């Protein structure tokens, strides 16, 4: 028998952990943490659905509540015992895998063919620019005004302003995709244009973050150019060479109706290798997962099989772990009081006006109705888990303080909570139904929408 391990005596598995090997001890700490995360996520997700909000909002709130704001404040010993220092790296790895696979599934389900290609592409470009520039400029301006009060001393005003502006220019692309899929609008002119514009928006944000990271670490212009060049090369290779090599697999699944373990091994390997490469070049693994999804065969049977095999496990198990990991870094007590409420409201207003008004005005200018324009503006204004990924990287690299991190988590919660009410206000169901394309043949149904008509997850 090993000598008694002194760490974490308050943990309910401390006795077992003290009498066994290190690997089992780690398991006995990780599994209770995951069970607590899933229980909190299930409860808060259900409460969110009851008030007609997306489940992802409840899961985001659950992550915050499991951190020092509530669980750590009321039961500090229990919180430290559940989320020990050994547990956090495991949660980080699981959450990264979950995010990468989720973005892969979003990319795989995106129908980037059909429709009026040139017109959709032009409108998507307008939407992407209007989703980035106003938020970036307003956010950067607000951050510049608040630099002395909020920034770390080792971060320049220019870097701080660009980081806040970049974070506010993020769109909750996965959430937007699920809303459109569940309403059957993903292949309507509005849906195709919105999905493409949001994907460009977020891809630009990751590249922007890569540039900021290089600036912050003092890597120099050559490193920045290397990152951008490798990103472009990766996208081209995946969408041409790899996509062509995978087409026979898609045709085989479509012909036989069988999607087996051999195909799953290939798909999972491509996703993880894509995430590894994009992590290595500095633009984070979620971008690699999304590009890998776009490279997948477009056969309806293949896409439906991918979703049915992978989406539920990712959404139920891995994404809640990411929200909890973010919540462990969120201390809302640090922004209590008027001294911090003012800066928070300024940042929130900059992000809200930049996205909502910017996107709506741009869409109206290219010919969409005001109702359609305000509906898309509301969806684009939601930031969901994407801004959480962005700011987690910024916090890890020392570009922002924990107070700024907490403010941006609140921005994510508020804008995500406002997305569906703004969408429904602008586009009631009676008007939305007239926008849907004709119902497809059931045999040709595809896309990553879940079988049950549950409100949007992420």
3-state secondary structure string across the chain? CCCCCCCCCCCCCHHHHHCCCHHHHHHHHHHHHHHHHHHHHHHHHHHHHHCCCCHHHHHHHHHHHHCCCCHHHHCHHHHHHHCCCCHHHHHHHHHHHHHHHHHHHHHHHCCCCCCCHHHHHHHHHHHHHHHHHHHHHHHHHHHHHCHHHHCCCCCCHHHHHHHHHHHHCCCCHHHHHHHHHHCCCCCCHHHHHHHHHHHHHHHHHHHHHHHHHHHHHCCCHHHHHHHHHHHHHHHHHHHHHHHHHHHHHHHHHHHHCCCCHHHHHHHHHHHHHHHHHHHHHCCCHHHHHHHHHHCCCCCHHHHHHHHHHHHHHHHHHHHHHHHHHHHCCCCHHHHCCHHHHHHHHHHHHHHHHHHHHHHHHHHHHCCCCHHHHHHHHHHHHCCHHHHHHHHHHHHHCCCCCHHHHHHHHHHHHHHHHHHHHHHHHHCCHHHHHHHCCCCCCHHHCCCCCCCCCCCCCC
- Provide the 10 A C-beta neighbour count for residue 119: 14
Q: Are 249 and 263 in contact (CB under 8 A)?
A: yes
Which sequence spans correspond to the domains of the chain? 14-77, 88-444
Q: Identify the CA nearest to 11 among candidates 96, 86, 65, 67.
A: 86
Instruction: Please tell me the distance from the alpha carbon of residue 346 to that of residue 447, in angstroms, as a whole number.
Output: 39
Q: Are 29 and 13 in contact (CB under 8 A)?
A: yes
Instruction: Please tell me the distance from the alpha carbon of residue 302 to that of residue 299, in angstroms, as a whole number.
Output: 5
Per-residue confidence of the chain (458 residues) as pLDDT tens digits?
444 444 454 555 555 545 567 888 888 889 999 999 999 999 998 998 898 887 888 888 898 889 887 898 889 899 889 999 899 899 989 988 988 898 898 778 766 554 455 666 788 888 889 989 999 999 999 999 998 888 888 888 888 999 999 999 988 776 777 667 666 676 677 777 888 888 788 777 777 777 777 777 666 667 777 877 888 899 899 999 999 999 999 999 988 888 889 899 999 999 999 999 988 887 778 788 888 998 999 888 898 888 888 888 888 888 889 888 888 877 776 666 667 788 899 999 999 999 999 999 998 988 888 988 998 898 888 887 778 878 888 888 888 888 888 889 889 889 888 888 898 898 887 776 655 554 444 344 444 443 333 444 44
- Provide the 10 A C-beta neighbour count for residue 20: 16
- Provide the 10 A C-beta neighbour count for residue 232: 11
Looking at residue 300, its pLDDT comes to 87
Please state at what angle helix 243-256 crosses helix 300-313, rounded to 10 degrees: 90
Looking at residue 443, its pLDDT comes to 44
Instruction: Please tell me the distance from the alpha carbon of residue 135 to that of residue 386, in angstroms, as a whole number.
Output: 15
- Provide the 10 A C-beta neighbour count for residue 342: 12
Please state at what angle helix 173-182 crosses helix 402-426, rounded to 10 degrees: 20
Pair of tokens at residue 448: 């990553």
When computed from its CA atoms, the radius of gyration of the chain, rounded to whole angstroms, is: 22
Instruction: Please tell me the distance from the alpha carbon of residue 408 to that of residue 402, in angstroms, as a whole number.
Output: 10
The CATH architecture of the domain made up of 88-444 is Up-down Bundle (1.20)
Looking at residue 334, its pLDDT comes to 60
């Amino acid at each position: 028998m090993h000598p008694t391990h002194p760490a974490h005596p308050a943990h309910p598995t401390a006795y077992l952990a003290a009498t066994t090997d290190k690997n089992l001890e780690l398991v006995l700490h990780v599994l209770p943490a995951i069970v607590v995360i899933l229980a909190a996520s299930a409860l808060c997700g259900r409460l969110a659905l009851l008030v007609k909000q997306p489940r992802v909002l409840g899961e985001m709130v659950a992550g915050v509540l499991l951190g020092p704001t509530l669980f750590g404040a009321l039961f500090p010993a229990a919180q430290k015992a559940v989320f020990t220092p050994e547990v956090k790296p495991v949660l980080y790895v699981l959450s990264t895998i979950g995010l990468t696979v989720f973005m892969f599934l979003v990319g795989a389900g995106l129908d980037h063919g059909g429709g009026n290609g040139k017109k959709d592409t032009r409108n998507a470009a307008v939407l992407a620019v209007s989703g980035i520039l106003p938020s970036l400029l307003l956010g950067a301006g607000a951050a510049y005004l608040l630099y002395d009060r909020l920034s770390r001393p080792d971060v320049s005003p220019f870097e701080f302003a660009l980081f806040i502006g970049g974070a506010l220019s993020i769109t909750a692309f996965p959430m937007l995709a699920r809303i459109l899929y569940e309403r059957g609008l993903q292949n309507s002119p509005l849906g195709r244009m919105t999905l493409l514009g949001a994907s460009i928006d977020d891809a630009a944000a990751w590249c922007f973050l890569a540039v900021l990271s290089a600036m912050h670490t003092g890597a120099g212009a050559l490193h920045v150019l290397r990152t951008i060049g490798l990103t472009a090369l990766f996208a081209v290779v995946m969408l041409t060479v790899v996509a062509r090599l995978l087409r026979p697999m898609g045709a085989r699944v479509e012909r036989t109706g069988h999607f087996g373990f051999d195909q799953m091994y290939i798909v999972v390997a491509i996703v993880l290798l894509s995430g590894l490469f994009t992590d290595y070049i500095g633009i984070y693994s979620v971008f690699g997962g999304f590009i890998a999804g776009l490279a997948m065969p477009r056969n309806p049977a293949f896409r439906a099989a991918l979703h049915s095999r992978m989406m539920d496990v990712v959404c139920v198990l891995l994404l809640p772990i990411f929200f909890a990991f973010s919540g462990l870094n969120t201390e809302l007590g640090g922004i209590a009081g008027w001294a911090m409420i003012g800066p928070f409201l300024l940042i929130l207003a900059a992000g809200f006006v930049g996205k909502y008004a910017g996107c709506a005005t741009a869409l109206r200018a290219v010919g969409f109705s005001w109702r359609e324009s305000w509906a898309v503006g509301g969806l684009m204004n939601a930031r969901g888990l994407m801004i959480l990924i962005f700011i987690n990287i910024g916090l890890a690299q020392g570009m922002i303080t924990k107070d700024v991190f907490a403010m941006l988590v609140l921005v994510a919660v508020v804008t995500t909570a406002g997305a569906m009410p703004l969408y429904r206000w602008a586009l009631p169901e009676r008007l939305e139904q007239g926008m849907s394309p004709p119902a497809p043949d059931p045999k040709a149904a595809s896309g990553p929408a879940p079988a049950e008509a549950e409100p949007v997850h992420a």
